A and B are shown apart, each in its own frame.
Chain A
Amino acid sequence: MRALLALTVFGGGVAQATVVPALRIGDVAPDLPLILVVLLALRRGPEVGGLAGFAMGLLQDAAGGGIIGVQALTKALVGFAVGALAGELLGTQPLVQVPGLALLTIAEGLLRFGFLKLFHFPVPFGELMIYVVLPQALYNGFLGAALVFALAWISTYRRQVS
């Protein structure tokens, strides 16, 4: 189980720069590590969510060539928050998953923006939100919901088999 978790974390972190470009629609690519962080946090709680977010974000930073630590921090915070609020959220409902993941993407984008501003990095807020964060939020919402469905189907199938 731990190996699977490690694989998910490492794989998810690196997949963003290798596999995910193949899933692009137009110029919009989903943030797969963020989706995985949210899923892990919902199932495993804030510690795993936070650590997974940190590790995946770190790998994503390194793989993407950005400032190492920015996405590690934002994704860790998202994972931590989602894990902490998992009991309050109806994470298994599609009507929650799509907008929930979209909102979390926007929140992560805002966090990243704020963090970069803190270190005086020039980031155009409006363009970033319109062309990157919002389309990605929508994509993440649907892809995340599809993943949740797939996982639910797999676990049902496994239960039936066993």
Chain B
Amino acid sequence: MKIRRLVLLVAIVGVCLALVTLQTRGYGAPAGDVVALVTTPIQAALAAVPRAALGAWSVYLDWKGVRAENRRLRAEIQRLRVDALWVTEAADENRRLRRLLDLRNRLPVATLPGEVIAREWGGWVRSLTINRGRGDDVKRLTAVISPDGLVGRVVEVRLGASIVQVLTDPSSTVGAHALRTRTPGIVEGEPRGTIRFKYMARDGAGLAIDDVVVTSGLGGVFPRGVPIGRVRAIDDRGSALFHYALLAPMVDFARVDDVLLVAGEQMLDFAAYFPTDG
């Protein structure tokens, strides 16, 4: 056993010394080639392992980073969307209030601004609730206008709010006339949510599509000259006493948010303060 070990040891030492001697004497290349023949493929295979592992690790880190970034960006997009909505809303409100303020400053009477806080749109009744009430000294039948035209009148005053009957309410009637032809008549609300201009046939000659109908000021509820609507269709009933014109309201009652309550003198002519192009 000991001899075998000794022989092995001597053989190993001998081979090693021979290899080193050969190399120091310039015969190293063949020995290196033989060893390289065995080692190179294994080296190549083993070299691929850490590269693959590092590659996989790097991909994992990238994926993890992208996932985290994705989460962060999603949250940021969400926040920016909300911000954008706020900005859009604020800009829109700003534009509306500027128009209202501009009208308020131009009008020769005292007005009270109000904000629509509720809408009743059932068909039987069409009304708006505004945030001005008894505490603001709002009176029943106060005219309510917007920069686009007439909205309606206050029909009920409560402690902190008022109910405004809009023009499309079936029980709403407003004394009016066509701006161009001066044809007098009455604007009535209809259950289907539209408004029509009812006028006497003998006065209606010459009324045409796109004519603007404004308040007449008769009755003392509404100031004169506030736009109500534009003629969309004329219902000629031949020899009937009254003819009708279907109007497109100037005010979009479904979207109006800010209004003015005309608190002062109602007998003035407001025509100059509303652009009607007609």
Contact = CB atoms under 8 A, between A and B. Distances in A.
Interface in B20-36: 20, 23-24, 28, 31-32, 35-36
Interface string A27-58: 00000000000000000001100110010001
Contacts of A15: 46
A38 B47 CA distance: 24
A70 interface: yes
A80 B4 CA distance: 12
A99 interface: no
B42 A10 contact: yes
A62 B36 contact: yes
A19 B24 CA distance: 30
B39 to A, nearest CB: 5
B35 A46 contact: no
A14 B19 CA distance: 19
B3 to A, nearest CB: 12
A76 B20 CA distance: 15
A62 B34 CA distance: 9
A59 B35 CA distance: 7
A50 B12 CA distance: 8
Contacts, number: 87
A50 B8 contact: yes
A50 B5 CA distance: 9
A84 B9 CA distance: 12
A119 B5 contact: no
B101 to A, nearest CB: 73
A14 B45 CA distance: 10
B5 A61 contact: no
The size class of the interface chain B forms with chain A is 20 to 34
A62 B31 CA distance: 9
A15 B50 CA distance: 10
B43 interface: yes
A14 B20 contact: no
A14 B5 contact: no
A119 B12 CA distance: 18
B36 A14 contact: no
A119 to B, nearest CB: 5
Contact of B17 (A22, A46, A73): A73
Nearest to A14: B42
Contacts of B35: 58-59, 61-62, 68
Q: Among B8, B20, B46, B54, which residue has the most Cβ atoms of chain A within 10 A? A: B20
Nearest to B13: A73
B21 to A, nearest CB: 8
Contacts of A62: 32, 35-36, 38-39
Nearest to A72: B16
Given A17-B43, A54-B12, A68 B50 contact: no
Contacts of B32: 62, 68
A122 B9 CA distance: 27
Contact of B9 (A11, A19, A80): A80
A19 B8 contact: no
A128 interface: no
25 contacts: A10-B42, A11-B42, A18-B43, A18-B50, A19-B46, A22-B50, A50-B5, A61-B35, A62-B32, A67-B20, A67-B28, A68-B23, A68-B31, A69-B15, A69-B16, A69-B18, A72-B12, A72-B16, A73-B16, A76-B9, A76-B12, A76-B13, A76-B16, A80-B12, A119-B24
Interface of B: 4-5, 8-9, 12-13, 15-20, 23-24, 28, 31-32, 35-36, 38-39, 42-43, 46-47, 49-50, 54
Interface of A: 10-11, 13-15, 17-19, 22, 46-47, 50-51, 54, 58-59, 61-63, 67-70, 72-73, 76-77, 80, 84, 115, 119
